Chain A
């Protein structure tokens, strides 16, 4: 199956010097530059662009969740839009009906989506590869219908309008408006999600998931409880996606059945494949693809934007079948080896 990527920081490389500085120094410089960029950027951009970046991060959390399932465990889901919707509606109903503060809706959304994911993961044990994709596709198609049907809770076709939360009073004085405040809220959740994903995937659990993906029978023979891990992978994956959905409901301030069509589910899978399927950084690239490429496609051709979007997908799949991060990672390693000063 897939050959493992060369590690970016093998112990040997960390000692070497690149263009005069050690690897560790370069990593610190990179991290500091990134932190500065992420912290300063929202104050240099218009509210709308800040909103766009917030959505990129939300999609990144959703794609990260899908990556756990599809990338690391090999279960293809075309139905994560349904769990995104479940998270969004949980948050919306709690805020709208019961007046729960926005931040307190995240844990219930996470819990509900975890339970739903585990429940769906049980029958999903029966299918492999493209078949799971088709079953989840059916789920994605059924989602808007179900949301419209249970209209006493979901508000039916009209959906639910929410009030965008205000930043804490102390911060308003510092020039932080609603969009910028939510940007930082989402940023914290994203960083937390990445941290959890790293802990989960770069250890025993992650190795078990990859083993099940690549050699299910050998994995079972090694004593890995295949069914348990696959079901838990499903639940964890939908937990991430559900939290992303809840954040999206809060940030957009509106939920309606049409927002959770099949296309959303397809976007998640495409974002995950384009970003880099079994990578954590790929989720952010995937989030950018989901947020920006449809608009770009619209600029290129009003008449057939989705054809352009489809062509972009083909282009990425043929040039970088492992996704942007999955394909550029090894290239970066080679570049580092070249610049290594003797």
Chain B
């Protein structure tokens, strides 16, 4: 029983990380109707930037905030320079461009930082709590995810920019007529997603260790989480991510060997799409003809 609970709770911590990346995917989807295949690799690259800053002697939280700022600017720059030109091209062109970004980030990181696995410091002490069911580090990761979710909800609900972004995503033409700069909103969306991804990367790095391929599987789990929660809903992304984290741990421990973990995520995606295509919290997408 104790082992079962422990698996659930440690799955919860992993789930928090998937939830963050799922949140980033939902952000881009809400803003641009696009899936960014490079999301995971961008997060990985941001984590390397944080690692460089920490190694240069910055305090952890200082490096954390600086990385978030750099990632935000980087995300905006990528949207402006690389995604913009294919905005009106067929979907496939945009997909190919984000896959190209994935390869470029992965290869460049390997080139600059080498493929050797690096240690990454955790800002949270590693003490067991709740009768050894969780560690303070897990709690810290979950807390950071919840704070991020709260900030996002506040941003979208209560700020003028958040409202403008929602308008730009929902109806670009009308939004433009109201004087909203739709292009800039898209760039901010990419910036936010990059910043959220950076947070996820920094949180996951102490557990997964830092190497250029660390995000390969995480993106798929995050996507499974986003779909499970409903691709249009940020709250759904977080809940979905947490459920995927727990399922992954439980299935890996009790049912089948852990080398089939990715297959489990794949099966989960198929099941969700067949039986509940809008996810747990998503709204049905209605299209005008």
Q: Which residues does A use to contact B, with CB under 8 Å? A: 1-2, 70, 76, 123, 126-127, 129-131, 133-135, 137-139, 141-142, 145-146, 148-149, 217, 262, 266, 269-270, 273, 277, 303-311, 313-314, 317-318, 321
Contact = CB atoms under 8 A, between A and B. Distances in A.
Contact of A135 (B107, B110, B270): B270
B110 A304 contact: yes
Contact of A305 (B96, B107, B262, B266): B107
B188 to A, nearest CB: 20
Given A149-B260, A314-B100, A273 B92 contact: yes
Given A76-B92, A131-B231, A141-B262, 6 more contacts: A145-B263, A306-B104, A310-B102, A313-B99, A317-B96, A317-B97
A321 B270 contact: no
Contact of A310 (B103, B220, B266, B277): B103
A138 B265 contact: yes
Given A145-B263, A307-B104, A135 B269 contact: yes
Given A126-B274, A313-B100, A304 B263 contact: no
B259 interface: yes
B217 interface: yes
B86 interface: yes
A139 B266 contact: yes
6 contacts: A123-B274, A126-B277, A133-B35, A148-B259, A313-B99, A318-B85
Given A138-B223, A277-B92, A317 B111 contact: no
Name the residue in A304, A310, A313 with the highest tally of chain B Cβ atoms < 10 Å from its Cβ. A310
Given A135-B273, A309-B103, A76 B91 contact: yes
A331 B167 CA distance: 40
Contacts of B232: none
A269 B82 CA distance: 19
Contact of B107 (A126, A138, A306): A306
Given A137-B37, A303-B111, A304-B108, A130 B100 contact: no
Contacts of A321: 86, 89-90, 93
Contact of B95 (A76, A148, A310): A76
Interface in B249-289: 257, 259-263, 265-266, 269-270, 273-274, 277, 289
Contacts of A314: 82, 97, 100
A269 B266 contact: no
A130 B35 contact: yes
A137 B220 contact: yes
A129 B34 CA distance: 9
A329 to B, nearest CB: 16
Contacts of A70: 92
A310 B101 contact: yes
Contact of B90 (A2, A137, A138, A270): A2
A73 B224 CA distance: 25
B85 to A, nearest CB: 6
A335 B274 CA distance: 50
B71 interface: no
A145 B94 CA distance: 29
Nearest to B270: A123
Nearest to B36: A130
B67 interface: no
A139 B267 CA distance: 9
B59 interface: no
Nearest to B231: A131
Contacts of B261: 145
A311 B273 contact: no
Contacts of B103: 306-307, 309-310, 313
Contacts of B93: 273, 317, 321
A70 B259 CA distance: 31
Q: Which of B86, B257, B262, B266 is most buried by chain A, counting CB atoms within 10 A of its CB? A: B266
Interface in B130-182: none
A307 B96 contact: no
A129 B110 CA distance: 31
Given A70-B92, A130-B35, A138 B100 contact: no
B46 interface: no
Given A270-B96, A306-B103, A306-B107, A138 B220 contact: yes
B233 interface: no
B106 interface: yes
B216 interface: yes
Contacts of A139: 266
A1 B93 CA distance: 13
Contacts of A306: 103-104, 106-107
Contacts of A308: 107
Contacts of B266: 135, 138-139, 141-142
Contacts of B257: 149
Nearest to B108: A307
Of residues B96, B97, B269, which shows the largest number of chain A Cβ atoms within 10 Å of its Cβ?
Answer: B96
B222 to A, nearest CB: 10
Nearest to A79: B266
Contacts of B277: 126
B259 A145 contact: yes
Given A133-B35, A141-B217, A314-B82, A307 B107 contact: yes
Nearest to A306: B107
B92 A217 contact: no
A227 to B, nearest CB: 14
Contact of B262 (A127, A129, A130, A142): A142
A202 to B, nearest CB: 21
A266 B97 CA distance: 12
Contact of A313 (B96, B106, B216): B96
B273 A126 contact: yes
B219 to A, nearest CB: 8
